[in-house]
Amino acid sequence: MPELRKDPVVGRWVIISPERGKRPSDYTIKKAPRDEVFCPLCPGNEAVTPPEIFAFRKKGTGPDRPGWNIRVVPNKFPALKPQGDMERRREGVFDRMNGVGSHEVVIETPDHDKELTDLPLSHLKKILFVFKMRTEELAKDPRFQSVVVFKNRGREAGASLQHSHSQIIALPIIPKRILEELYGGRKHYRNTEHCIFCDVIEQELREELRVIDQNDDYVSFSPYAARFPFETWIIPKAHTSHYCQIRQPQYQTLAEILLKTLKRLDVVLQTPPYNLVFHTAPILKEDLPFYHWHIEIIPKVTKVAGFEWGTGFYINPSPPEESAAYLREVSLSE
């Protein structure tokens, strides 16, 4: 029997309609072959990107030269432009403003053929640190209201370049998805004085039906009202509204659980394309009692999509309890 499930944060109903006998291998999609074209993110090609904003590099090497381990550059084809004022204006019933914003690329490794899962933990920790550092830096600009860190892996997930990278966008508005989470979270907080995300974590850890991994600081799980097969979240156990509140020892535990999660997805879904997005509270000084930052990973495994855009309801053929079981079963003992 299919089931309707309500997302406890934003109130979205999802149809969980298991297709009989569907196995993870039915989700593996034909991926475009890696091509051998010129890569603007590779060492030696630093002059092709705009001048670097930041890099971890070997002593004695200068900016925009080889010798870096992680390199942050402005996006050469930004969706938003950093210069100018917003000039918000009204035209009848419509509102518009200039597309002011920042769009950066974090080149995660100099090695063209390495994925996040091929990197040592110490390297992953540095990437997580770079996300925090750049977010904090962008948050200083009074024009911006939110910063979104995200990664598209694979052309099918929207990556136009194969070389492993993430993106950081700073926006003069709050994306609708985050607004919905804020509204839903505030409503629950008003009614219960609890953070809805904390309540979800408490229940997930107690029931253990959808939990994949956990350590002292973080838990990864398949959300109850998952929109997509193998949708996976990573969330801090302790209430924290902003990613930038991460403390030094947590880079280790976050890198550990992120690496495990990505490796599990790679095994079960045969290196799927995916979107990975940091959901964090808008730029503010104080901690919000009703919001809880987290990472959402959406493997791009269903061949088609688009229907959901029109109707706003999602049909997920994979119960999250099953997805979690498949992911948990993976042996990571190499």
Catalytic residues: 165
Q: At its nearest, how many Å lie between a second copy and the CB of residue 188?
A: 8
User: Are 61 and 334 spatial neighbours (Cβ–Cβ below 8 Å)?
Assistant: no
For position 5 contacting a second copy by CB under 8 A, the verdict is yes
DSSP state of 123: H
Q: Please select the residue that binds a second copy; options are 29, 157, 244, 330, rule is CB under 8 A.
A: 157
79, two tokens? 């969706």
For position 208 contacting a second copy by CB under 8 A, the verdict is no
For position 165 contacting a second copy by CB under 8 A, the verdict is no
230, two tokens? 């193998």
Element (H, E) at 257: helix 248-269
Pattern 61-90, binding to a second copy, x per CB under 8 A? ----------------xxxxx--x-x----
For position 300 contacting a second copy by CB under 8 A, the verdict is yes
Q: Please select the residue that binds a second copy; options are 148, 235, 246, 281, rule is CB under 8 A.
A: 148
Alpha helices, H only, 118-169: 121-139
Give the C-alpha separation, 40 to 46, whole Å.
7
The residue assigned the tokens 């204006």 is 89
For position 29 contacting a second copy by CB under 8 A, the verdict is no
The CA-to-CA distance between both ends of the chain, in Å, stands at 39
Give the C-alpha separation, 117 to 121, whole Å.
9
Q: Which is nearer to a second copy, 61 or 203 (CB)?
A: 203
For position 205 contacting a second copy by CB under 8 A, the verdict is no
For position 21 contacting a second copy by CB under 8 A, the verdict is no
For position 37 contacting a second copy by CB under 8 A, the verdict is no
Q: Which is nearer to a second copy, 46 or 102 (CB)?
A: 102
- DSSP-derived 3-state class of residue 121: helix
For position 220 contacting a second copy by CB under 8 A, the verdict is no
User: Are 175 and 282 spatial neighbours (Cβ–Cβ below 8 Å)?
Assistant: no
Within 92-121, the residues that bind a second copy by CB under 8 A are 92-100
Q: Which is nearer to a second copy, 156 or 213 (CB)?
A: 156
Contacts with a second copy by CB under 8 A: the residue count is: 74
133, two tokens? 């550092």
For position 50 contacting a second copy by CB under 8 A, the verdict is no
Query: Which of left, alpha, beta for 149 (phi over 0: left; psi -120 to 50: alpha)?
Result: beta
User: Are 109 and 41 spatial neighbours (Cβ–Cβ below 8 Å)?
Assistant: no
Q: At its nearest, how many Å lie between a second copy and the CB of residue 334?
A: 30
Q: Please select the residue that binds a second copy; options are 217, 256, 296, 322, rule is CB under 8 A.
A: 296
Pattern 268-287, binding to a second copy, x per CB under 8 A? -----x-xxx----------
The residue assigned the tokens 């409503």 is 187
